Amino acid sequence: MRAARAASNASGAVQALSDARARAKQKLKRQQVVRIKIISMGDAGVGKSCLIKRYCEEKFVQKYIGTIGVDYGVKSVRLGNWDLRVNLWDLAGGSEYFEVRNEFYRDAQGCMLVYDCTSRNSFEALDSWIDESARFGAQNAIVVVAANKVDVGRRVVSEKEGRQWAESNGFLFFEVSANSGAQVRAMFASIFHRVLHSMQGVDEDLTTAAGQLAQTELFRGQEGNPEEGKARRISGARN
Ligand SMILES: Nc1nc2c(ncn2[C@@H]2O[C@H](COP(=O)(O)OP(=O)(O)OP(=O)(O)O)[C@@H](O)[C@H]2O)c(=O)[nH]1
Ligand SMILES: [Mg+2]
């Protein structure tokens, strides 16, 4: 009788220990943090800072306050049990900041390359941005091309033209508006997904969760985006 009670106590203790271990493991999993580095680039005034502000704070600022050199921020994105910390380096587009921003390209994993669909110059400058970023260390970054300001009626670069340029380089393409918020969340979610997918040693569950988020945001942003399947690194575009 006493032996049976002792055995039952022992098995209860084993069970409690195993439960505690499972809880600890779950907690550890919850605390997993993955960091990625994303940069923004494109001509001055195309709306890089506004797109980041729209995504991080859901706000839009009408007044143009040019970035001085570089701005930095961290955005946390909860993905299943994971905490994705997105380090956002917002580079000034003005030529006077060439020396400053060249310090920040290195090891970028993702890049938001922005033009203003109401400015042909900003569209024609895209090649030079790719060259500059590749020259200064971002050659492995996954690129998403953002045609911004689609809320403005008087566009001069058609969606077709923008898409063709992105496609010919193998980049993701989104038409966005920092003003209305159109496709901004979908664009960021897609780049996170592609960056995680491209990284070595990332837990599959995390990449899957990021892919699901990207799909959800695409649905939310209406009809979806045929470019979502494609992604290529900067280096892949130049050969
Ligand atoms: N209508 C409209 N205006 C926008 C949009 N995005 C940005 N702007 C305006 O464009 C101007 C420039 O925006 P910024 O985000 O500061 O541009 P930037 O690319 O960061 O410029 P630099 O920091 O100088 O490189 C501001 O006056 C914004 O209000 C948009 O989607 N629609
Ligand atoms: Mg800026």
- 44-54 pLDDT, tens digit per residue, is 999 999 999 99
61 lines ligand 1 (CB under 6 A): yes
pTM: predicted TM-score of the whole model, two decimal places: 0.85
Tell me, yes or no, whether 65 and 25 share the same domain.
Answer: no
**Do residues 97 and 137 share a domain?**
yes
Q: Does 92 share its domain with 6?
A: no
The residue whose two tokens read 């938001």 is 112
Determine whether the shortest distance from the Cβ of 49 to ligand 1 is under 6 A.
Answer: yes
Specify whether 185 is located in the same domain as 70. Answer: yes
Q: Which atom of ligand 1 is nearest to the CA of 42?
A: 19
Same domain, 8 and 52: no
Computed over every residue of the chain, the mean pLDDT equals: 89
CB 47 within 8 A of CB 112: no
Quote the CA–CA distance of 230 and 93 in Å, as a whole number.
Answer: 26
Domain with 19 in it: 1-31
Whether 136 and 27 map to the same domain: the answer is: no
In this structure, the answer to whether residues 66 and 106 fall within a common structural domain is: yes
Query: Would you state the pLDDT for residue 16?
Result: 83
pLDDT band at 233 (very low <50, low <70, confident <90, very high): low
pLDDT at residue number 67:
97
118 and 138 housed in the same domain = yes
Q: Which of 54, 57, 64, 89 should be mutated for ligand 1, with most atoms under 8 A from CB?
A: 64
- 178 pLDDT band (50/70/90 cuts)? very high
Are 22 and 46 contained in the same domain?
A: no
- 27 and 49 together in one domain: no
For the CA atoms of 76, 80, 82, 84, what is the dihedral angle to 10 degrees? -30
